[in-house]
Each structure stands twice: as structure tokens, then as C-alpha cells.
Structure 1
Amino acid sequence: MNSLIEEIQREALDLTIPVSTLLRKVRLAAAKLKLDTVEEWVTNELSGYEETVPAYRILRGTVRYNNGYTGWQMLLGDTSSFSQKGNGQSISQIESMLEPTGNQTFHIPFSGKLAEMIGKAAGGGQASYALFIDRAQLSGVLSAVRNLVLDWAINLEKAGIKGDGMSFSEREKKIAESSPSSITIGTINSLVGSIGSHNSVGSITIGSFSIDAARSVVPQLRGNAAALAKLTADPAGFSERLQKVEQELMSSKPDPSSVKATLTDIRAALSGAAGNLIASGALTLLNNVLGTGVPA
């Protein structure tokens, strides 16, 4: 009969075995060896974290807002302070989310004071805010847990702890009792708050005007058109200019001077609202495209 530790090692290598199933066997082994720290970690992974989470559960993505009219749109501006968030969901919940293979993106809603902070920075309008993440971010949590379990089981064997079936000898229990710190889970003590440290968000940076750069920025302005128009003195005029530049960019040979002139007008219309997060983000993009040398 294989020992419990060998069974854990084998299943950690078998990607068809759910991580939640693997963790239950880790909990059993930890309980028998009286490894309280490991047992607590497994409990958190299976039941979910309340406040702080391990570093590998910090997810990074794109901040979006939904005002009830335009659907989810990317929030322009410096959202680096909000672009990462801790995920405290149980492992089984994460596995269930990933089960439909068609789901490529997920969103984690912002709530409470954090949502109020984002809303205030965005101008105070009524909207919901969420962090959109891709599938790989969630898959990474499962992979991290599986790797930690495998390393832990290997270290147990190196320490002379393998077990016999579901049991461990008194000698093995004494080894575990005398050196628990050397056979704990690698990074479970690396806990962070639900919001991690700043994470830079890249934006387009070019030294001179180009049609390709304009084509990459205008869709972002369109995604926030309703909110941006309200920040200008002439919302209708703003919308007309945006539509004009879109039509020019759709032509077979866009006129660079016309596109640049229209984008310059759009920038001027937004300049009075520079203190607003969305407007500031739009101005940063426009400044970069127009080659003003303003850093992103």
C-alpha cells in the first residue's frame, strides 16, 4: 500500500485530480503529524480567506465601470492603485468558475469604501466598478497551490516522513514535532491585504503623431464617450468630433493632419476637466498620441 505522502505526491503531479481533493489529503496528513500551520492553511484554502490572502492570490487586471447604460467600459486614468485585488474564494469555488472552458474573463466587483474611492476619483457618477481578470489569473492560483503541496510532500520525504498507508510511526511524528518550520508550506506566511501594492498600468507612448497610434486610442475614447462628453462645455460638439475622427480613421487613406486636428480639438474640450480621473486618463492618451512629450 502506498503511503499517504507518496499518494499526495502522485496526485499533485496528476492534473486530472482536483486541487480541492488534493488538499483534503494534505489536511489529513497535517492533522496526523500535528502540523497546525499547514492544517490552518488548508482550512483557509478549502473554506476561503476572510481578510488577508497569500501573495499568490493577488490577481491583476483591468478596472472597468458600468453606469447602467453603456455596459462595462474600461476606466481611463491612473487606476494602478486598484488594478490588483486579493481573491479569498475557496479552491472549490475557483475550480467551479474554471469548469466551463468557454469562460475566458471574470470580474471581481469592488464594494464598500473602495468602490466609493474609485467613484469619487472617477467624478462621482453613479456606477458599479469591477476588476476584470483573464482565465490565466485564476488558473494560476490552482497551479500555485498544487506546486506548494508537491514541494511540501517532497520535503516531508526528505525529512524521513513517508508514513505507512494512512498512518505515521512515532518516529515520524517526533521528527515533525521537532522541526515543523522546515516542513511547512513554502509561502503561506506571505500574507497581504485584499488590495496589494501599486501595479503599473501601461499606456501608449509615442514621440510623434501616427495614424496607428490614433487607431489604438480612439476606441478607448469611444468606450468612455458618454462620461467624457458630460465633462465638456459642449457635449454635442464633443460627440461630433469623436464621430468625425472615427470616420476619418475608417477611410482607406486617413488624412493625418485632419485626424490630428480633430484629436487636438477633443483634447482642448477635455482640458477643463483635467482633475477628473476619466478625463485625466483621456488627456494622457491624447497627449501621447499628439506627441506633446507629456509622460504616461
Structure 2
Amino acid sequence: MTKRAHTLVAEIERDALDDKVPLTSALRKCIVLGGAVNSDQLREWAGNELRGYQGETETPDYRIVAASIHVDAIAGPNHIKGQRISPLQLPEVVQEKGIGEDLPLRMGIGELEAALANDSEGHIHMSLPGGADIARMLDHEANQPFQKITAVYWSVSKTAIAGVLDQVRTTLTELVAEIRVTVPDETADPSKETLGNALTVALHGSPKARVTLTTSQSHGASTIKNADASPDDGEEAPFWTRNKVAAFIAGAVAVAAGIATVARVFLG
């Protein structure tokens, strides 16, 4: 790795391992690292985490949390606060948009960190899109002259938000660990493919094809090893590799024989 890239990886690792350091710091360094080695994949992921998943950008599974739907209302002289309702009680047009109790947290990581730090309650309220219109439709459908719904919102546990932040921090830690496994020599630059695979491992837990770059100490020559590659031509393949074709053929013959037997039973 170049000195600059090596320094960035070390700083990302340090920030990720320190719970007191905001995640925004490590994610910005990921953008810089992605730019240094031309990794659009790393820059895009870190940018989405910082700015939020906007427009048609798909929200990662780890950002989808359980969130109950609640309303605040005035009913005659009574003030109702935090009344939970079922998604089936929402207007039909709202239900058709898929609004329910699975909430994608699409905002930037800084906003999530601020919400977790500033809210003294055990839950955080997030308004449903078009909440004011939903409230008016609910009042209209209820047809209660002394009822007025003042707010419709999701109630999200602070524990769930903390879990999302922890997932991102863990992803950063696994990203650094995979980079170090793949490029153990600190004088070698990680390629954009290396960073892409490292991010895939960190997010999904399975590398596409891990390529490890090692450097010979005696001759200074580099060797590239593919951890998922087939054995060399001069090496004998494992027994399960040698026998898998034969096993497949034998299985196919057995299935064909079984089908023929069933046919004889039913056709006489």
C-alpha cells in the first residue's frame, strides 16, 4: 500500500474501533480511500451512508427496522397521545404504497447519530410521509365530529437505531480486516477489485474471489494467489472433485430408473 492508502486504512480501523469517534469520520476516510485507488464501489457505499439513501437507491437490509405506527389526537375534551394503530387501519391508498411496520432508515448516518444522542426517550418518532394528509383521511373515514388526529408517526426504538449504527461500525471493521488479509504487504497498493471484494465480504459475508498478494522476502518477487482457484495442473484434485461427475451420473441413472418403475406401475 502507498503510505497515504496505508495511513487511511489505519485511521479507518482506529475510528471504527473507538465507539467515541463518530462514524461520519471513518466513512469520509472511506471516500478518500476509494478515490485514492479508484474504487467507485467503496465511495458509493460510504457516500450513501453519509448522505442517506436517496431517490431510487435501495436501502440495505441492515437499515430496515421494526417500527410501530402511532397517532396523537384530540377527542372532545380528551388528549390522546401515542395510540398505536394497525397498518390495516391506514387509508387504503396509503396501504397500497406499502407503508407498514418495517421502516427503512434512509437518512444519513450523522442524522441517525444525532437522533440517538439528543432524544431522552426510549423511542424516536418519525413522521409518516404525507402524515398531515393521512391524519385528515383518518378523521374523514372515522366521521367523528369531535375527533382530530394531530400526528401520525412511526415509533422507533433507540435500541434498533443503535443496532444499525453498530452494523455500520462492524462493516467498517470487517472491511479493514479483509483488506489486511488480502494485502498483507503494506508496500503493495490494494486494487479497486480488492476493495470491492473486501466491501462485499464486509456487507454480505462471502467474497467473490479473494485474491491475496504476497511478496517474497528473499527475491523481492510478488506472487498472486486466488483463494478460490482450482488446484494447479500438476496437483491431484481432491477426491470429492474427482468423483463429483461420476456421482452426478450415478444419481441421474438412479432417478431415471425410479421414473421407469413408477411408469410401469401406473401404465401396467
Q: TM-score normalized by structure 2?
A: 0.57
- Which one of 172, 192, 196 corresponds to residue 177 of structure 1? 192
Q: Give, in whole Å, the separation in 1 of the partners of 2:16 and 2:109.
A: 15
**Structure-2 residue corresponding to 1:5:** 9
Instruction: Give the length in aligned residue pairs.
Output: 180
Given the alignment of the two structures, is residue 14 of structure 1 paired with residue 37 of structure 2, yes or no? no
Report the CA distance shift for 1:154/1:103 in structure 2 as closer, same or farther (over 3 A): same
1:37 corresponds to which letter in structure 2?
Q
Structure 1 position 3, deviation (Å): 3.0
Given the alignment of the two structures, is residue 50 of structure 1 paired with residue 54 of structure 2, yes or no? yes
Q: Per-residue CA shift, 1:164-205, capped at 9, x if unaligned?
A: xxxxx6x414xx2344542225338xxxxxxxxxxxxxxxxx
Moved over 6 A (4+): none
1:140 corresponds to which letter in structure 2?
G
- Which one of 50, 65, 80 corresponds to residue 70 of structure 1? 80
Q: Per-residue CA shift, 1:237-270, capped at 9, x if unaligned?
A: xxxxxxxxxxxxxxxxxxxxxxxxxxxxxxxxxx
**Structure-2 residue corresponding to 1:86:** 104
- Which one of 130, 134, 158 corresponds to residue 157 of structure 2? 134
Report the CA distance shift for 1:82/1:115 in structure 2 as closer, same or farther (over 3 A): farther
Structure 1 gaps of 5+ residues are: 164-168, 189-296
Given the alignment of the two structures, is residue 29 of structure 1 paired with residue 39 of structure 2, yes or no? no
Q: TM-score normalized by structure 1?
A: 0.52
- Which one of 154, 160, 163 corresponds to residue 177 of structure 2? 154
**Structure-2 residue corresponding to 1:41:** 45
Q: Helix, strand or coil: the match of 2:107?
A: coil
**Structure-1 residue corresponding to 2:203:** 187
Structure 1 position 78, deviation (Å): 5.2
**Structure-1 residue corresponding to 2:166:** 143
**Structure-2 residue corresponding to 1:204:** none
Structure 1 position 86, deviation (Å): 0.8
Contact 1:12 1:147 in 2 (8 A): yes
1:137 corresponds to which letter in structure 2?
A
Report the CA distance shift for 1:87/1:151 in structure 2 as closer, same or farther (over 3 A): same
Structure 1 position 73, deviation (Å): 0.9
Q: Helix, strand or coil: the match of 1:12?
A: helix
2:198 corresponds to which letter in structure 1?
I
Structure 1 position 132, deviation (Å): 0.4
2:117 corresponds to which letter in structure 1?
E
Which of the pair is proportionally richer in strand? 2
Contact 2:131 2:153 in 1 (8 A): no
Deviates more, 1:109-118 or 1:50-59: 109-118
**Structure-1 residue corresponding to 2:253:** none
Report the CA distance shift for 1:116/1:156 in structure 2 as closer, same or farther (over 3 A): same
Q: Percent identity?
A: 19
Structure 1 position 111, deviation (Å): 1.9
Report the CA distance shift for 1:113/1:6 in structure 2 as closer, same or farther (over 3 A): same
Structure 2 gaps of 5+ residues are: 90-97, 205-268
- Which one of 58, 62, 65 corresponds to residue 59 of structure 1? 65
1:155 corresponds to which letter in structure 2?
E
**Greater relative CO, 1 or 2 (CA 8 Å, sep 6+):** 1
Matches within 5 A, 1:249-288: none
Report the CA distance shift for 1:154/1:46 in structure 2 as closer, same or farther (over 3 A): same
Structure 1 position 11, deviation (Å): 2.1
**Structure-2 residue corresponding to 1:107:** 125
Q: Give, in whole Å, the separation in 1 of the partners of 2:171 and 2:140.
A: 40
